Copies of this chain bind each other. A is one copy, B any other.
Amino acid sequence: MKLGEFVAQNGIPLSRTEGQYVFRQGEQDTSLYFVKTGLLKAYYLSADGKENIKSFILPGDHIGSLMASHAGKPCSFSLLCLRPCELTKLPFATLYEAVRTDPEISAAAVDFLLNFAMKKEIREYELLCLSAEERYRRLMENTPDLLKLVTQNEIARYLGVTPVGLSRIKKRVMA
């Protein structure tokens, strides 16, 4: 993919150890991050201290705060490394600039965004239409490997239930 080359040439390598943040909710971070190795979680922290996990980010995936990069607002979520990570950091402005001047990059960006939008639609569908149990079943089918990489606590926060709730769902599903 042409976009991959662009990122490799214009991005800045970045290492993070387990437990380090890439950025925190409320901060201003206008870069995109492409994951070479490692594992991260993007999560919202509510005013009353509840954590909700937006997504897990695996090698080959990418992440960044659209709110911060494109709308000039603070990041609405935090990005934390669950494993040591090798990332490539690309300032959003660099890509946005390239979109205006390089047609090939621009077309690649459109593809990139189309895929991104489709993923978001699927997640929206799952949250709107499926029960927590159905979401858990889907996760088991679609990304069973993820279940081994993160704690059940985190799976729960990703599915939109508490760890206690997920434990009950598991029992029910296995029976």
Which of A's residues lie within 8 Å of B, judged by CB? 44, 46, 50, 52, 54, 66-67, 70-71, 76, 96, 99-100, 103, 106-107, 109-110, 113-118, 120-121, 123-125, 127-129, 160
Question: Which residues of B sit under 8 angstroms from A44, Cβ to Cβ?
Answer: 125, 128-129
Interface SS of chain A: helix, strand, loop or mixed? Answer: helix
Q: Apart from A70-B115, A117-B117, A120-B121, what are 18 other A-B pairs with CB-CB below 8 Å?
A: A46-B129, A50-B129, A54-B124, A54-B125, A66-B114, A66-B117, A66-B121, A67-B121, A70-B118, A96-B110, A99-B106, A110-B113, A113-B117, A116-B117, A123-B124, A124-B127, A127-B127, A128-B160
CA distance A96 to B108 in the complex (A): 11
Residue of B with least CB distance to A157: B128
For this complex, 16 residue pairs linking A to B, each with C-beta atoms less than 8 Å apart, are A44-B129, A52-B128, A66-B121, A71-B118, A76-B121, A76-B125, A96-B110, A99-B110, A100-B107, A106-B109, A113-B114, A113-B116, A117-B120, A120-B124, A124-B124, A128-B160
